[in-house]
Structure 1
């Protein structure tokens, strides 16, 4: 009796000790880079000078600092890595990456011991063959859960993933008591299904893309069943908070609701979270702790501007791990004080050295002369008046299309050209404008005028469809009340400037006192409103059924930007050339150009309203008489007042 009781006490004590030995608390730091867009070195190839504001080499210093602060850390990249600046074009097109060579992105990243990478939408811009050649140089695995082989059989049950959909990586961690454990860290990645529109020519018949949320709901339970202790989602997808729709491009907000996900490392929309004030007050979003519906999440800007951090606390009862808390943060490589950019870290010289050969090759490639301009070319006023930086692109596209339609059934149709300002401030900052001084034009200046590797497309539209195109583009502007005396901001900052198409070949007015016909998703919301007025071709009003050819790019022609009647069905010419190459060849053919805009559009009168817009501080020296400099704002932009034409 006494022996049995003593044995029970000893057994209970032993079990309690065993339980204490197995219980553990682990702190895990997850680091993220995203949307590097080939900004590996801290260099601005368009300005042809060193930069304190960009570069993986600067983020590398932050990575090393963040790792030194944490016993346990992992590092992920969230894509849009291989395209985005002249270095990316040089590797893909200028010298052409060969099989067996290591892409410079991985010469740099392999020095930083990444755990996993996700595929971004711009990874497909140069085609699948180039993508696979590039990925072969990475010393870390890549994942994506919503891109599948196109087997053509319409049977979803047998679809095979094109990439490894997820990874469960046994990772040695040390708990707060100094004991080591093996933590099965699960990673799952996603890309916007819109890749099938944006890179239609590269992907059709080869792959298909599925919905992000459906893919998460399919694979996250499978990851748990296969032993994942913690699940990290890496969506190359922004965070917008509207009602969820099938095939959502920016699905992160809704992804946070998927059960089983413990952290989200997101990207794509080039914003910073936590810290994005547009998300303040949104249900489920906590900017202070960096959580979305309780899930810690981070998005670290673009071009190497920030490092994202998520810190998780995990506890084990001896059998299972549970995430008990988590927060997120971002760290910047630089900060702005007035008009000055103050670097916060130095570049990691090893990263810059790793890409030195390709960097020097890019500089030589970009400095080649292709033409000469008789006047300065800038985009300072591209959002408020017809602009020379857009005019050159439209002139080149029209010239090109006139040549390729000769001898075809389309010869004789009026040719219009659509182009948008790609560098017009915004999130890029007060220096992010095209600014080419008169004189020699080099290839770097062409890339400055047209920064994306788009393909030329020609669509056939009616007069009514052309006008609706312009109505959608006019979403660039806020509605102005002509009777209000208080200052009013003209530019809608949430509208991407690359969607502000100017269509040359016709003349028109934009009446900003009218509401927008279309919302941000391209839905007709104000059918009685008409911002685009007095539309003429060759001096005569454009007729509703009048036929036009409009030269544009693959992004727009295939549905990018949610423009009416632009879904691929109206494309009549799939040209073999890229828009940027067309601009370069046009300049070579002209030798010397006059970049003056033809003023084919202007604003309709808006009364005595005080209308303000922001631009580069350099604009003060070249502003027209219809503009009055007002001030420099706290972000370093020059504020101007625009006078109404009466």
Structure 2
């Protein structure tokens, strides 16, 4: 009698014929050999032939086999699920996953093989995100509307962005546990209180390896192991200190890539896709660098980089002139590695088309092409033309949450006595910033009463968050009369927390010198029209400090670059005074700001968490809402006067021709009539911004 042989490939998988197989306890499973015929030593006259091995169900591809794989990415959606602007309460076809979804479906139809990833900054950034986190909250089992939308699109994996931490770890976990796809992040670890790196436990899975069935160019199927690894800026520990301190730690992006990528290769990853929520900075890598995507391209084993965080497009002209750094804008590669960054708020879909060729050492990327797919375009008159239809499934899934959000943001709670806008916030003291800085001063003066800080003068820093960064219509505009929460969110779009620093006069001056990097240097001898605004300097880093008066001399070179690096010995800040007297280097001040700036955000000189003397738990935005309510009531319900106090201006320049850009709206043009030094040129640039002339023959304050 013979023991029947079971096909090993069926029992154990395709490798069993070579290496045997193991049960769950790693015990080898033995199959009995044929027993000899009983009662005789003679061989069986009709021996049973050896069984024919089962064919390998997934044999190695022939050398030279090619397959094409399309990688798709969304990033920095910031809770913009629908094509809707809650600040204006109007449809906005320049934003929304509901639009990007159509591009995703089309891109999949065009490709034989594809995967879809999201790169984070997902649950915060629009009033919808605020409403869910701050007003409605999430009950156990209740699905966040961003996941109601994303769960219809079959994402393969998602990365954690820095703004995911804005509402705390508990809310984050409650939100993401209803995502129908896994999350990764390789450089955030649970805080354990010791200095031993070897025992640190990741907060999320650092990486993921998925087995995917793809067809080669001849239609044959192959299993490819696709590895994904995600990263977040280590600066989360500064930006969200209140939510994260003594709960997690964040490590250097490149160090963690060097740790985990080799492990992914050891575990069989055929290709590795990095998903860093980190921008592109070609400067030398330093420990815990915020924008490290460029340096990830130098980590051996990474085959593609799908990045974000910078709210920019790659490949695009923004990164022109970096050929010597290994940037190829035609192919969309960084040091030969395929890369893409698809903007923000769903305005683009990122696409990387890879050609994989099977070689002696496995699947290798042998060609690539990165492209950006927009959801809209603009005609010669800058009218927005939607390129895709809304996704009906996403609309239906999020309709109820959308309507609840609209109701909430439109409920009036106070009044303003005149319009508030940010049209000229980069060239003139501005009412939208004035309200914020006044509110911060009001709050701080109350909380320091009776403390050892009460005798120090209070200064207040604010910046224009909406000053064209998101396009020609990305400006604050609040009409005279009722004010609702959507207006407060328009004034202060981030859920930052108020902090107070103690600084001396020299440090305040350097803060303002850094802010003055917002402007190009103006040649007073030139007859040519010169552009004032430095497009590489983000408007949210143009801090106005109220409580002092000063001038900015833009004929001098900027003292600092947009990255906070010393660029010159230029002195742009003139006549810095407090209550009519020059500010001395040793003079002490309290300066109110937010947790982002107080913890080093923006790389301002001399500013860090060690300078914080009031570690407030209250959000700046809520402080603004409370202040508006208080002032409206103090004015017998007639409303808050939002007038700017003109505490800063430019130093006079005779004869120079200076221009800047702003909103192309009728409201902006009408508002310009209030100022003798601002003149509309009745022209627009290629991006749809209106051009204005600035006359600086005399100071305006």
Match among 372, 376, 383 for residue 340 of structure 1? 383
Contact 1:58–1:347 (Cα < 8 Å) also in 2: yes
Find the aligned partners of 2:351 and 2:335 in 1 and give their Cα distance.
18
Find the aligned partners of 1:281 and 1:595 in 2 and give their Cα distance.
44
Give the structure 2 partner of residue 639 of structure 1. Answer: 691
Match among 489, 500, 512 for residue 542 of structure 2? 500
Contact 2:498–2:616 (Cα < 8 Å) also in 1: yes
* Cα drift, residue 281 of structure 1: 3.8
Find the aligned partners of 1:645 and 1:451 in 2 and give their Cα distance.
35
Find the aligned partners of 1:414 and 1:370 in 2 and give their Cα distance.
31
Q: CA-to-partner distance for each residue in 1:83-125, whole Å, 9 max, x for gaps?
A: 1110111110011112221111111101000000000011111
Moved more, 190-199 or 30-39: 190-199
Larger radius of gyration: 2
Q: Tell me the TM-score normalised to structure 2 length.
A: 0.88
Match among 342, 345, 370 for residue 328 of structure 1? 370
Q: CA-to-partner distance for each residue in 1:591-631, whole Å, 9 max, x for gaps?
A: 21111100000000122111110001232212122112222
SS of 1:498's equivalent in the other structure is: helix
Find the aligned partners of 1:439 and 1:580 in 2 and give their Cα distance.
20
Find the aligned partners of 2:321 and 2:371 in 1 and give their Cα distance.
16
Give the structure 2 partner of residue 456 of structure 1. Answer: 498
Give the structure 2 partner of residue 356 of structure 1. Answer: 399
Structure 1: unaligned runs, 5 residues or longer: 1-17
Contact 2:61–2:222 (Cα < 8 Å) also in 1: no
Find the aligned partners of 1:269 and 1:276 in 2 and give their Cα distance.
15
* Cα drift, residue 184 of structure 1: 0.5
Classify 1:25/1:400 alpha carbon distance in 2 versus 1 (closer, same or farther; 3 Å).
Answer: same
Contact 1:394–1:419 (Cα < 8 Å) also in 2: yes
Match among 530, 537, 546 for residue 488 of structure 1? 530
Match among 510, 516, 523 for residue 552 of structure 2? 510
Find the aligned partners of 1:414 and 1:23 in 2 and give their Cα distance.
73
Contact 2:655–2:697 (Cα < 8 Å) also in 1: no
Contact 2:61–2:358 (Cα < 8 Å) also in 1: no
Match among 309, 312, 334 for residue 271 of structure 1? 312
Q: CA-to-partner distance for each residue in 1:550-577, whole Å, 9 max, x for gaps?
A: 1110001111111122111111001121
Give the structure 1 partner of residue 477 of structure 2. Answer: 435
SS of 1:169's equivalent in the other structure is: strand
SS of 2:525's equivalent in the other structure is: coil
* Cα drift, residue 498 of structure 1: 0.5
Match among 399, 404, 408 for residue 451 of structure 2? 408
Match among 653, 658, 678 for residue 606 of structure 1? 653
Classify 1:73/1:431 alpha carbon distance in 2 versus 1 (closer, same or farther; 3 Å).
Answer: same
Match among 529, 532, 540 for residue 573 of structure 2? 532
Matched, 1:151 2:200: no
Find the aligned partners of 1:587 and 1:369 in 2 and give their Cα distance.
12
Match among 165, 177, 197 for residue 206 of structure 2? 165
* Cα drift, residue 23 of structure 1: 5.8
Matched, 1:519 2:561: yes
The aligned runs of 1:51-450 (5 Å cut-off) are: 51-282=92-323, 283-317=325-359, 320-337=362-379, 338-426=381-469, 428-450=470-492
Contact 1:603–1:645 (Cα < 8 Å) also in 2: no
Find the aligned partners of 1:460 and 1:21 in 2 and give their Cα distance.
68
Find the aligned partners of 1:617 and 1:292 in 2 and give their Cα distance.
36
Match among 508, 511, 514 for residue 472 of structure 1? 514
Match among 608, 614, 629 for residue 567 of structure 1? 608
Q: CA-to-partner distance for each residue in 1:428-480, whole Å, 9 max, x for gaps?
A: 11100001111111110000000000001011111111111111111111111
SS of 1:355's equivalent in the other structure is: helix
Classify 1:605/1:224 alpha carbon distance in 2 versus 1 (closer, same or farther; 3 Å).
Answer: same
Higher relative contact order, chain-length normalized (CA < 8 Å, sep 6+): 1
SS of 2:438's equivalent in the other structure is: helix
Q: Tell me the TM-score normalised to structure 1 length.
A: 0.95
Classify 1:187/1:19 alpha carbon distance in 2 versus 1 (closer, same or farther; 3 Å).
Answer: closer
SS of 1:552's equivalent in the other structure is: strand
